[in-house]
Structure 1
Amino acid sequence: MNPSSSINTEADAAADPLLQVTGLSVASRDRQLVQGFNLTMNRGERVGLIGESGSGKSMTSTALMGLLPEGVNAVGTVRLAGREGNLLTASDRQMCRIRGNDMTMVFQEPLTALNPLMKVGPQVAEVMVKHKNVTGRRAAKNKAVAMLASVRLPDPAQAAQAYPHQLSGGQRQRVMLAMALANDPELLLCDEPTTALDVTVQRQVLDLILESVRQRGTGLLFITHDLSVVANVCDRVLVMNKGVVVEEGSAAEVFTRPRHAYTRGLLAASDLDASDEDGRLFTVASAAAYVPPKIKEVLAPMPAATLRAPRSQVPESHGSPGGPATGVEPVISVKNLVRTYQRGRTSLFAKPLEVQALRGISFDVQAGQRFGVVGESGSGKSTLLRILAGLDQPTSGSVRVAGNEVAGARESALVDLRRQLQIVFQDPMGSLNPRMRVQEIIAEPLLAPGQKVDSARQRRLVAQMLAAVDLPADSAGRFPHQFSGGQRQRISIARALICEPRILVADEPVSALDVSVRAQVLNLLSDLVDQYQLTLVFVSHDLGVVRHICDNVVVMNQGEIVESGATEQIYEHPQHEYTRTLVGASMSLRSELAARAAQSKGRFHANL
């Protein structure tokens, strides 16, 4: 054989696209889900597929993997370099040889993708054994530990012996990545792999994905609704809406010079640093007035004060974190709050383990404040909220809410507190009774002991609250499953406000929502807080959201408040190392575009 012909063959193979998708359409029995999807990907290329819930992006990825659910069919052509024929017409046996070997996928929720009855080390090893890429189970076991080490799991040998539920969310996602990369695939698909993660863990996982695909020359198709993540990870972007790709181009081009109205709307709703002339976040509907960031702007961003419209400020606090002005009684006062939980014994004679959820925290919240509580999973935020709402008792310390002392109070004494303080939860579907109509759900707080409201007044108040949260009047007769996620969150807000509380606690209220719906709900919350003169306690791990809506903020870490003060001061000049880590790990569209532009500028000068 002529050596030169062998070299030419390898060069031709390298020149062929890694993935060629032509005319992909996906449909169920009664609905078209994806129509006319086309994509050409080269080896080592990083492509972002962005769109909101229902846009068809996840159906596209499952069609590529041959994992469509029963009753959903795909037509078109999907070709993968090194494999003969159309993957859409390949048999299950053929696809089993391809999945996990040539192309792999990292899913959004690793706990549902991992086998709960199997230790993670054997799960990673199984992928290699199944595709016969290692010889013997001992070699597979050793390589599995090496793969867990490559994704920077602490103590990989010990982690290999853990079950999925014994690992944190970020650690489980690292296990999924180790499994996906175990056989050095040429194509990696990531479907919202960081949506449920804290900001620092999200940054670590994204950096790890980038590093891994660069080292291996792996092609990456990254599916998400988070534009800042795509700006960080991807070179090229496809925008999907209602099953159709409406725009395609380089990340810099699409994000700074969008051509399609829907793309502009997504950009506008994602940009928490921009607001309209009324000081409200842009939505897809109001995006016509939005001006996308220019390259010069992102390289030298405008000061935060000029990006955000001014908002009426509560008088500056003095004394304890978030405290009121001197002489004014706070609406929430927390003093030396401690909450310790007892865990079960590890053996018959061992002492019960103690978990210190809160370690002596103190703060005050003045009436009318927009007070932010920032922290990652395990920081103590949820424990704090339960105590503020009278759903848990402190181990020691004092908690006064709207004049009611929580510590030591009997259930009957907490009725007034729960009328004065209402909560909007993270997952509206989980907090709304699926068997109750919206009329009953919203009116439920009116049935508290001591409240007497006749049915006619109930219906009138429910109608008023539905109007306040911009839902049609006929919503009252429907069930929660008949609404979108954003609409369900509006129902939760209406329920919280119907008894006219003084304090509204929002617990991660927008973390599960698409960016455009997030902007709508944040605008609604801001409007209602002003309209009803509420005190807002807003809890989140998303620093960008807290920065937009809150005047004061406390930063929690491992049950302690590590920093507190005015929001802009905390974000612009963080003093504590943990706060600096949070701020540094948080992602915004403008900051990621600025980083991308700076990298491009650096490469340009390096090539001169």
Structure 2
Amino acid sequence: MTSEAQPLPGASTLLAVDHLNVRTPYRTLVSDFSLHMAHGERIGLIGESGSGKSMTTTALLGLLPAGVTADGSVQLDGHKGNLLEAPESELMRLRGKDVAMVFQEPLTALNPLMRAGAQVAEIMLQHKLAPNKAEANKRAVEMLDAVHLPDPAQAARAYPHQLSGGQRQRVMLAMALANDPSLLLCDEPTTALDVTVQRQVLDLILELVRERNTGLLFITHDLAVVANMCTRVLVMNHGVIVEEGTTEQVFTRPQHAYTRGLLAASDLDAVDETGRLFTVASAQNYVPPVLGEDSAHQPAQAKIASPPTPTSAPPAVRVTDLVRTYTRGKTSLFKPAPQVKALQGISFEVAKGGRLGVVGESGSGKSTLLRILAGLDQPTSGSAVVAGNEVAGAKEQQLRELRQNLQIVFQDPMGSLDPRMTVGQIISEPLLVRGRNETASERATMVAEMLEAVGLPASSASRHPHQFSGGQRQRISIARALICRPQIVVADEPVSALDVSVRAQVLNLLADLVDEYGLTLVFVSHDLNVVRYLCDSVIVMQSGEIVEAGDTETVYRSPQHPYTKRLIDSSLTLRQELAGVA
């Protein structure tokens, strides 16, 4: 690999970064980073948490946190000198005008007290690109129209909290592109979005940068997104670029073991000889996809979870005509309080030992369904029988029994683990309910066994959650969920916050434990590829209703409902994106 990432021959250089180092007084975060980008070029910067991706981009903008310094050279077409040595006044003129940034979480980047249109207009006025406020407001509505907001004039009058996640991200894009910057930096801009919205936002970014010949530096850990968006890729690991080349070269002929590992762990269509997903550690036998070989309907060697053998035993979960209606606060003296139908009479069963995937976007009713199954909420009408317990109208004693038989693994392990408790206390907590009589030493033995089962050393019991990585914390959550040997485990987006290599490990672990303990799994996710790998049956939810249900492979290969088809078409897989590159 060359020390300098070169742009396409014949194109003029937009950005030249040479030998960039980012340091704290104690360690180097980014080491000897070089990148030369042409006008209109689209480059993907990939790597996992802590690889130095975000530090690199904040260094380019002169926005490093206190105590972090950068040296080397950063030059932008149209600006004299090294931007790392430029005064703050010059950098302020540059940001938002020549270089713009779209962040991962739009809600934290937008001003909650300003209307969306005013925030777009303010950027133009700051850089004196609109003669007056009226003209800036008019152009702001045009920009909101350019990013395909359905009613731009109405969106301009809305506050950020009144817009959905996808709409807020479009407002951020409108702000970023308002002054026609020559370089757009995107830092994981679609990670928090539903799959169909993600696809729309990515298509939109691509369309806008192509139209304007804007250079794009796209930072993500999602390789399928890079295959979809970028012509060239830089792979970062521990602050160093380990591989660089065209998207096609890097993704089909990876040279570095780490790149190969990332590709292997990202490719949910490929499994090793034991039927497990590849991880960075097991990637040496992984065969990368061949360019132009569409495996949309022919997964490589994908493991298809086999449905449980039908028996006459009662199902682990039986939901019948389940309705949940919430009443919102009154908005008028004379009108009744508005009602929200979160679940509209849904019915399904999960056999003992079955693995059910529940897919659907935000607002589809997935979380409401989970809360009812776990006995954390009561249905308005209908029935939910979980491990032989009827949830509707159940007394606290019956719900206690239900919660011994059903445990939840949450999306964000940090949010669900008490930071003041040791790992041993966290995992043993479900054993401290009335009716159980293990001694302290028995509990300690059970904790040690569970830690072993999830691949953590028994010595972890004396440590606290903050001393572990995201993937390790999720293993702790799984250990806590399984310690009282429940019959049913409900997993709520348990891998969506994890890096791809860690995701593969946690999915393998879940699959192994489900088999080993004979568990029934209800797996909620917006990532259809994960559900396809892990679950034998699937229900697709939209607006509180089940629009399609069946065995996973049948639903994926021939979706009957247009919504299911849209979800599957929007979902990015590495192989399909590379097939489209040819």
Match of 2:153 among 157, 162, 165: 157
Q: Secondary structure at the match of 1:307?
A: coil
Percent identity of equivalent pairs? 68
Match of 2:96 among 68, 76, 100: 100
Following superposition, the deviation at residue 302 of structure 1 comes to: 7.3
User: Which residue in the other structure is 1:460 paired with?
Assistant: 445
Match of 1:169 among 153, 165, 168: 165
In structure 2, what is the Cα distance between the partners aligned to 1:41 and 1:303? 36
In structure 2, what is the Cα distance between the partners aligned to 1:444 and 1:166? 39
Following superposition, the deviation at residue 301 of structure 1 comes to: 6.2
1:270 aligns with 2:266: yes
Following superposition, the deviation at residue 311 of structure 1 comes to: 4.4
Match of 1:364 among 327, 349, 360: 349
1:255 aligns with 2:251: yes
Match of 1:205 among 201, 216, 237: 201
Q: Secondary structure at the match of 1:330?
A: coil
Q: Secondary structure at the match of 1:146?
A: helix
In structure 2, what is the Cα distance between the partners aligned to 1:302 and 1:568? 10
In structure 1, what is the Cα distance between the partners aligned to 2:94 and 2:331? 44
**Normalised by the size of structure 2, how large is the TM-score?**
0.97
In structure 2, what is the Cα distance between the partners aligned to 1:20 and 1:36? 13
Counterpart residue type for residue 254 of structure 1? V
User: Which residue in the other structure is 2:302 paired with?
Assistant: 308
Match of 1:469 among 426, 433, 454: 454
User: Which residue in the other structure is 2:18 paired with?
Assistant: 22
In structure 1, what is the Cα distance between the partners aligned to 2:191 and 2:197? 11
Residue 256 of structure 1 contacts residue 293 of structure 1 at CA under 8 Å; is this kept in 2?
A: yes
Counterpart residue type for residue 293 of structure 1? P
Counterpart residue type for residue 199 of structure 1? V
In structure 2, what is the Cα distance between the partners aligned to 1:366 and 1:180? 50
Residue 364 of structure 2 contacts residue 544 of structure 2 at CA under 8 Å; is this kept in 1?
A: yes
Following superposition, the deviation at residue 442 of structure 1 comes to: 0.2
In structure 1, what is the Cα distance between the partners aligned to 2:152 and 2:392? 43
Following superposition, the deviation at residue 206 of structure 1 comes to: 0.1
Match of 1:60 among 40, 43, 56: 56
Q: Residue by residue, what CA displacement relative to the aligned partner does 1:115-150 show, whole Å, maximum 9, x if unpaired? A: 111111111110000000001000011111111111
Match of 2:290 among 290, 294, 300: 294
In structure 2, what is the Cα distance between the partners aligned to 1:280 and 1:371? 19
Match of 2:393 among 408, 412, 418: 408
Residue 265 of structure 1 contacts residue 283 of structure 1 at CA under 8 Å; is this kept in 2?
A: yes
In structure 1, what is the Cα distance between the partners aligned to 2:290 and 2:456? 36
User: Which residue in the other structure is 1:338 paired with?
Assistant: 323
Counterpart residue type for residue 307 of structure 2? Q
Counterpart residue type for residue 273 of structure 1? D
Q: Residue by residue, what CA displacement relative to the aligned partner does 1:159-195 show, whole Å, maximum 9, x if unpaired? A: 1111111111101100000000000000000000001
Of the structure 1 ranges 404-413 and 201-210, higher mean CA displacement relative to structure 2 is found in 404-413
User: Aligned pair in 2 of structure 1 residues 15, 533: CA closer, same or farther (>3 Å)?
Assistant: closer
User: Which residue in the other structure is 2:490 paired with?
Assistant: 505
Following superposition, the deviation at residue 336 of structure 1 comes to: 0.2
Residue 48 of structure 1 contacts residue 237 of structure 1 at CA under 8 Å; is this kept in 2?
A: yes
In structure 1, what is the Cα distance between the partners aligned to 2:287 and 2:11? 39
Residue 278 of structure 1 contacts residue 309 of structure 1 at CA under 8 Å; is this kept in 2?
A: no
Following superposition, the deviation at residue 294 of structure 1 comes to: 1.4
Residue 297 of structure 2 contacts residue 557 of structure 2 at CA under 8 Å; is this kept in 1?
A: no
User: Aligned pair in 2 of structure 1 residues 311, 553: CA closer, same or farther (>3 Å)?
Assistant: closer
Residue 228 of structure 1 contacts residue 589 of structure 1 at CA under 8 Å; is this kept in 2?
A: yes
Unaligned runs of 5+ residues in structure 1 are 1-13, 316-324, 598-608
Q: Secondary structure at the match of 2:59?
A: helix
User: Which residue in the other structure is 1:34 paired with?
Assistant: 30
Counterpart residue type for residue 447 of structure 1? L
Q: Residue by residue, what CA displacement relative to the aligned partner does 1:532-552 show, whole Å, maximum 9, x if unpaired? A: 110000000000000000000
Residue 295 of structure 2 contacts residue 576 of structure 2 at CA under 8 Å; is this kept in 1?
A: no
In structure 1, what is the Cα distance between the partners aligned to 2:158 and 2:444? 53
In structure 1, what is the Cα distance between the partners aligned to 2:498 and 2:483? 23
User: Which residue in the other structure is 1:424 paired with?
Assistant: 409
Following superposition, the deviation at residue 292 of structure 1 comes to: 0.6
1:244 aligns with 2:246: no
Counterpart residue type for residue 76 of structure 2? L
Following superposition, the deviation at residue 460 of structure 1 comes to: 0.5
Counterpart residue type for residue 339 of structure 2? E
Q: Residue by residue, what CA displacement relative to the aligned partner does 1:402-428 show, whole Å, maximum 9, x if unpaired? A: 000000112222111000000000000
User: Which residue in the other structure is 2:528 paired with?
Assistant: 543
Residue 22 of structure 2 contacts residue 31 of structure 2 at CA under 8 Å; is this kept in 1?
A: yes
In structure 1, what is the Cα distance between the partners aligned to 2:507 and 2:411? 13
Residue 96 of structure 2 contacts residue 179 of structure 2 at CA under 8 Å; is this kept in 1?
A: yes
User: Aligned pair in 2 of structure 1 residues 444, 556: CA closer, same or farther (>3 Å)?
Assistant: same
In structure 1, what is the Cα distance between the partners aligned to 2:303 and 2:49? 30
**Normalised by the size of structure 1, how large is the TM-score?**
0.93
Following superposition, the deviation at residue 31 of structure 1 comes to: 1.4
Following superposition, the deviation at residue 349 of structure 1 comes to: 2.3
Q: Secondary structure at the match of 2:344?
A: strand
User: Which residue in the other structure is 1:322 paired with?
Assistant: none
In structure 1, what is the Cα distance between the partners aligned to 2:476 and 2:319? 30
Counterpart residue type for residue 255 of structure 1? F
Counterpart residue type for residue 164 of structure 2? S
Residue 368 of structure 1 contacts residue 533 of structure 1 at CA under 8 Å; is this kept in 2?
A: yes
Counterpart residue type for residue 303 of structure 1? Q
User: Which residue in the other structure is 1:45 paired with?
Assistant: 41
Counterpart residue type for residue 130 of structure 1? Q
Q: Residue by residue, what CA displacement relative to the aligned partner does 1:371-391 show, whole Å, maximum 9, x if unpaired? A: 100000000000000000000
In structure 1, what is the Cα distance between the partners aligned to 2:564 and 2:297? 22
Residue 45 of structure 1 contacts residue 218 of structure 1 at CA under 8 Å; is this kept in 2?
A: yes
1:548-567 aligned at under 5 Å gives the runs 548-567=533-552
User: Aligned pair in 2 of structure 1 residues 299, 288: CA closer, same or farther (>3 Å)?
Assistant: same
Counterpart residue type for residue 533 of structure 1? G
User: Aligned pair in 2 of structure 1 residues 275, 15: CA closer, same or farther (>3 Å)?
Assistant: closer
Following superposition, the deviation at residue 449 of structure 1 comes to: 2.1
Following superposition, the deviation at residue 310 of structure 1 comes to: 5.2
User: Which residue in the other structure is 1:569 paired with?
Assistant: 554
In structure 2, what is the Cα distance between the partners aligned to 1:113 and 1:216? 24
In structure 1, what is the Cα distance between the partners aligned to 2:81 and 2:219? 25
User: Which residue in the other structure is 2:6 paired with?
Assistant: none
Residue 22 of structure 2 contacts residue 28 of structure 2 at CA under 8 Å; is this kept in 1?
A: yes
In structure 1, what is the Cα distance between the partners aligned to 2:120 and 2:465? 40
User: Which residue in the other structure is 1:115 paired with?
Assistant: 111
RMSD: 1.1
Residue 44 of structure 1 contacts residue 214 of structure 1 at CA under 8 Å; is this kept in 2?
A: yes
User: Which residue in the other structure is 2:379 paired with?
Assistant: 394
User: Which residue in the other structure is 2:175 paired with?
Assistant: 179
Residue 279 of structure 1 contacts residue 310 of structure 1 at CA under 8 Å; is this kept in 2?
A: no
Q: Residue by residue, what CA displacement relative to the aligned partner does 1:53-95 show, whole Å, maximum 9, x if unpaired? A: 0000000010011110001000000000001111111111100
Q: Secondary structure at the match of 1:334?
A: strand
Unaligned runs of 5+ residues in structure 2 are 1-9
Q: Residue by residue, what CA displacement relative to the aligned partner does 1:221-262 show, whole Å, maximum 9, x if unpaired? A: 000000000000000000000000000000011000000000
Residue 240 of structure 1 contacts residue 246 of structure 1 at CA under 8 Å; is this kept in 2?
A: yes
Match of 2:278 among 278, 282, 287: 282
Q: Secondary structure at the match of 1:288?
A: helix
Match of 1:382 among 367, 374, 379: 367
Match of 2:581 among 587, 596, 601: 596
In structure 1, what is the Cα distance between the partners aligned to 2:480 and 2:267? 29
